[in-house]
Amino acid sequence: MRIFVVTGHTAAITPDFPLDDLPGSAGRLDILARCVTAAFCTSHGIRRYVEVYLVLRDQVTVRFEGARLKRLNPDERSTGALIKHALQALREGRSEGTPGVSVFQDGLEGVLSKLQAQGVDCYVLDENGRDIRTIDLREPAAFILSDHLNFTPHEEELLSGFERLSLGPVVLHADHCIPLVHNELDRRLA
Ligand SMILES: C[S@@+](CC[C@H](N)C(=O)[O-])C[C@H]1O[C@@H](n2cnc3c(N)ncnc32)[C@H](O)[C@@H]1O
């Protein structure tokens, strides 16, 4: 199992945004939608062994489970719609928006506790960390990254105990980091 945890610092936590404005009124939800497709979509299918946690404003978490996921397409808008359905479900007191997309009122601390309780190795993606190519990785592993902003001081505190892994010297967009992690692990398993 490969898990990606993305912190969205400005993202909407209610469904009251138009799908035509993911970068604007939805608070850069476009970045998070691209992270989701980067984590799951291959040329001809879905990576079923992946989970993505989108931690929105450290208050609400939307979880995508590859094993049960339906209706995920490679475009941002339809992924934005899955997030919107999940936020609508939260408003109505339900825990699932569409199959494989659940939602709960939890921030980064809760997500990390859950992963650790499941025995998942957690790593922070950081350009100043240790080169990912120099370490042994075993699955389940979780990779934690930020959206377009730095981790907040509170998040940094929560993440301080985890090893930091670099994907190279250049600072990349969050959604570009995810395929690089997949590629590292894909090559090791091939
Ligand atoms: C666009 S960056 C965040 C903004 C960035 N800290 C800045 O303002 O310069 C998104 C996230 O991708 C990850 N990231 C970007 N480049 C990376 C690299 N070369 N190695 C590892 N992680 C990287 C980090 O987790 C980072 O928080």
Q: 76 Cβ partners below 8 Å, 6+ apart?
A: 22, 30, 33, 34, 37
Which atom of ligand 1 lies closest to the CA of 173? 1
pLDDT for residue 78: 96
Residue 189 has pLDDT above 90, yes or no: no
Q: Find residue 64's DSSP bridge partners.
A: 52, 101
Distance CA 25, CA 27 (A): 5
Quick check: CB of 125 below 6 Å from ligand 1? Answer: yes
pLDDT for residue 108: 98
Quick check: CB of 148 below 6 Å from ligand 1? Answer: yes
**Nearest to 101, CA basis, from 42, 52, 34, 58:** 52
Distance from the CA of 130 to the center of ligand 1, in angstroms? 14
- Centre a 10 Å sphere on the Cβ of residue 159 and count the other Cβ atoms it contains: 20
104-114: per-residue pLDDT in tens? 999 999 999 99
Residue 190 has pLDDT above 80, yes or no: no
Tell me which DSSP letter residue 151 carries.
P
pLDDT for residue 150: 96
87-135: per-residue pLDDT in tens? 999 999 999 999 999 999 999 999 999 999 999 999 999 999 999 999 9
Which atom of ligand 1 lies closest to the CA of 151? 27
Which atom of ligand 1 lies closest to the CA of 165? 21
Distance CA 135, CA 125 (A): 13
Distance CA 87, CA 14 (A): 6
141-150: per-residue pLDDT in tens? 999 999 999 9
pLDDT for residue 76: 95
Say what the pTM is: 0.97
Distance from the CA of 6 to the center of ligand 1, in angstroms? 11
Quick check: CB of 167 below 6 Å from ligand 1? Answer: yes
Quick check: CB of 172 below 6 Å from ligand 1? Answer: yes
Band (71; pLDDT cuts 50, 70, 90): confident
Distance CA 166, CA 152 (A): 19
Residue-averaged pLDDT of the chain: 97
Band (46; pLDDT cuts 50, 70, 90): very high
Task: Choose the residue to mutate in 127, 131, 135, 144 for probing ligand 1, maximizing ligand atoms within 8 Å of C-beta.
Answer: 127
